Structure 1
Amino acid sequence: MPKATSDRFSRLHKDSQSESSSARNPIFNTERFGQHILKNPQVAQTIVEKANIKPTDIVLEVGPGTGNLTVLILEQAKQVTAVEMDPRMAAELTKRVQGKPSQKKLSLIIGDFVKADLPYFDVCISNTPYQISSPLIFHLLSHRPLPRICILMFQREFALRLGREAEYRIMVSSIRQCATIRKGGLCDACGEFSGESGPRDPPPPVRFEEFDGLGRIVFSRRNKTVHGNFMAKGVVEMLERNWRTWCSETNQIIEDDVNMKAKVEKILDDTGNSENRAAKMDVDDLLKLLSAFHDAGIHFA
């Protein structure tokens, strides 16, 4: 894609206003970062309304783009922290609020959200870059203290997964569909998805990194058996390295002829999960499996 010129970005705000009125093309695709800029004011207003922002709230916005959502959030929130990957978009957003009262309420972080150290926030709103949907969810869930609510836009297929799969349900107490969106505005047809979710509070008594590591193995191939996923190339070797590290840190004797494959298979058999398929497992199944591995000194992070 040709490099954008400054003239092009100076026209974005005017273009968004003119095009949103016709509602012919509510989403502008920036291929470099997989980001989609909302241009339909009805969609942006609906997302902000669903957040029920209080005047005392600090809001985290992920992927603000040129600020079509940001300017609406700034009208209601005490403070907004926006995390933007694209420096060009960050510059446009800065220019958009420059000299206005809302400028003092906006803090901008330029960089990768998944790697960013997040400050305190009460509410998260995101027109999520689709390529970071899953990492974004887990990064939000690992943040402390927990936010009150998250209003997130995803592709419909991913959004539907959030409500039915244990790898997400273990950390999220409630997920509710707010609206489905397509070109032209709000509708009941397929397209992008705006969802509302609340983290479990208190969260499950497990380290997030441990559960995430287990989930990556179990859900790597959802329709395969759990045994098949653990026997995939490199998994047993990785678990043995983790086990040896744990033994070293806890002054445990390391067996000379350890058979990690047999250890893993015994745990799967003893917990009754060997022939289970990931798509059929629930939260209790995963917690019991994780506990059994930990009892054997096998960790995932």
Structure 2
Amino acid sequence: MPKASRNTGPSHHTIGSARPYSANTSKNDRVKRDDSNTKTASTNLITPNTSIGQHFLKNPAVVTSIIQKSGIKPTDIVLEIGPGTGNMTVPLLQKAKQVIALEYDSRMVREVLKRVQNTTEERKLKVIQGDAIHTKWPFFDLCVANIPYQISSAIVFKLLSHRPMFRCAVLMVQEEFALRLSARPGEAMYCRLSVNVQLLAKVDQLLKVGRNNFRPPPKVESRVVRIELKNPPPPVNFVEWDGMIKLLFNRKNKTLRSVLNTKATLKLLEANRKTLRNMSDSEDDDDNDTVKDILERICSKPEYKDKRARSLDLDDFLQLLTDFHDEGVYFAS
């Protein structure tokens, strides 16, 4: 899987306990309610764990917007990664059939359970304490998450490979990572991550969240994105696909011919071809073309000549992979 982008921001977001305001709340009421929350809100009593980069989201309007944009149905089971003290968990519970909250920090587990204790939402909440990457995820219809930035890529690809398929995921991520998810050919942010995610899903940018919405403020801006899986998924072996994409984007500004015609690449592809032939017990030795011959033939085609990975779109890459397969060249053995 592609690695997450360089991280300069928080590794984990935790939602504070200030409740969202209703549309008809007056300004005076808001000030009064904020003063009360300052004295009683659990996030003001809990010190963020900077060793895992916790930053409390303190703006209730952001929570409200995320809930609205998630499109939750009364029959939905929602997976919330990183519920924190439960500020978003409570409105999720009010909208959904059930919320499964996955939390690493035992302090936050206690806080979110405390938030719903002796309420009508208590029976609808299931809390799982564990690492989001290594914990097996249960069935869910929708995912809402403020995910640890340094494992953003791992979380996204775990979502994309999760079965049975879910309707969509609404995620808070580092702004640079969010822009990479939806970057198009020719844009500076266009990369291996962009191509791989867009092969499997549709990505929409929903909301920009400034650093001052958190306590303490992180060093980067954040964004909320919506990821909707393509159903049915494309008929592509992802390991094979990513083998090609990883290789081409290793030097995305070089021509395809230049990237592919290195000694290491030619050796790898020749070994793959030999392995696959042995596995299939192929006796077809009539083709005397080397992998280098095949690469030259493909890269000389008008649609690929002098082209670079940075300028190719999904259809181009899919056709390129097909052309390689037609010539017996594979990027994974």
Decide: shared fold, TM above 0.5. Answer: yes
Which amino acid counterpart does residue 280 of structure 1 have in structure 2?
S
Aligned residue type for 1:142: S
Aligned-partner Cα distance in 2 for 1:41–1:106: 21
Residue 183 of structure 2, aligned match among 164, 178, 190? 164
For the aligned residues, what is the CA RMSD?
3.7
Partner residue of 2:38?
18
Cα pair distance change 1:63/1:264, threshold 3 Å: farther
| TM-score, length of structure 2 as denominator length | 0.68
Aligned residue among 70, 78, 101 for 2:97: 78
Query: Does the CA contact (< 8 Å) of 1:170 and 1:283 recur in 2?
Result: yes
Matches within 5 A, 1:221-236: 221-230=251-260, 235-236=265-266
Residue 104 of structure 1 and its aligned partner are, at CA, apart by 3.2
User: What SS does structure 2 have at the residue aligned with 1:113?
Assistant: coil
- Whether 1:129 and 2:148 are equivalent positions in the alignment is yes
Distance of aligned partners of 1:72 and 1:297 in 2 relative to their CA distance in 1, 3 Å threshold: same
**In structure 2, what is the Cα distance between the partners aligned to 1:274 and 1:35?**
48
> AA paired with 2:311?
K
For residue 46 of structure 1, report the CA deviation from its aligned partner. Answer: 1.1
Question: What are the Cα deviations for residues 185-231 of structure 1, in whole angstroms up to 9, with x where unaligned?
Answer: 49xxx821112232222222212333333322223343333344445
Tell me if 1:200 matches 2:251.
no
User: Which residue does the alignment assign to 1:300?
Assistant: 332
Name the count of aligned residue pairs: 279
- Is 1:287 aligned to 2:318, yes or no? yes
- After TM superposition, the structure 1 = structure 2 runs for residues 23-42 of structure 1, keeping only pairs within 5 Å, are 30-34=49-53, 36-42=55-61
Shift of 1:121: 1.7
- Asked if the contact 1:271/1:288 (under 8 Å) is kept, the reply is no
Structure 1: how far apart are the matches of 2:85 and 2:262? 43
Q: Aligned equivalents of 1:258 and 1:90: distance in 2?
A: 61
TM-score, length basis structure 1: 0.75
**2:86 corresponding residue in structure 1:** 67
AA paired with 1:50?
K
Kindly state the Cα deviation for residue 19 of structure 1 after the two structures are TM-superposed. 9.4
Matched residue SS, 2:228: strand
Return the alpha-carbon distance in structure 1 between the equivalents of residues 180 and 40 of structure 2. Answer: 30
- The whole-number CA distance in structure 1 between the counterparts of 2:133 and 2:295 is 31
Distance (Å, rounded) in 2 between the aligned partners of 1:78 and 1:154: 26
Closer/same/farther in 2, CA of residues 35 and 207 from structure 1, 3 Å limit:
farther
Please tell me whether the aligned partners of residues 61 and 81 of structure 1 are also in contact (alpha carbons under 8 angstroms): yes
> How far 1:58 sits from its partner (Å)?
1.0
3-state secondary structure, aligned to 1:81 = strand
Q: How does 1:267-278 map to 2 (within 5 A)?
A: 267-270=298-301, 272-273=303-304, 275-278=306-309
Three-state SS of the structure 1 residue aligned to 2:205 is strand
Q: How does 1:205-216 map to 2 (within 5 A)?
A: 205-216=235-246
In 2 relative to 1, CA 252–51 (structure 1 residues): closer, same or farther, beyond 3 Å? same
> Deviation per CA, 1:110-167, whole angstroms, max 9, x where unpaired?
4443444333221111112222222322222222333222211222222222222350
Deviation at 1:47? 0.6
1:146-157 paired onto structure 2 within 5 Å:
146-157=165-176
Give the equivalent residue in structure 2 for 1:58.
77
1:122 aligned partner, one-letter code: D
Question: Quick one: structure 1 residues 196 and 270, their matched pair in 2 at CA, closer, same or farther if it must change by over 3 Å?
Answer: same
Which structure has the higher relative contact order (CA within 8 Å, separation 6+)? 2
Identical positions, percent = 39
8 Å Cα contact 1:246-1:297 kept in structure 2 = no
Tell me how far apart the structure 1 counterparts of residues 258 and 183 of structure 2 sit (CA, whole Å): 22
For the 8 Å contact 1:20–1:40, the answer to whether it is kept is no
Taking the aligned partners of 2:309 and 2:69, their CA distance within structure 1 comes to: 33
Q: Which has the larger radius of gyration?
A: 2
Whether the aligned pair in 1 keeps the contact of 2:76 and 2:96 (CA below 8 Å) is yes
Q: Which whole-Å CA distance do the structure 1 matches of 2:224 and 2:307 have between them?
A: 32
CA distance, structure 1, for counterparts of residue 148 and residue 103 of structure 2 = 10
8 Å contact from structure 1 (residues 66, 92) kept in 2: yes
Maintained 8 Å contact 1:35/1:128: no
Per-residue deviation, 1:288: 1.0
CA distance in 2, matches of 1:172, 1:269: 31
Alignment of 1:233-248 (within 5 A): 235-248=265-278
Per-residue CA distance 1:8-49 (angstroms, 9 max, x = gap): xxxx859x953999xxx9xx9755445544232211121111
TM-superposition CA deviations, 1:227-260 (whole Å, max 9, x none): 44445785555444544443333223597x9954
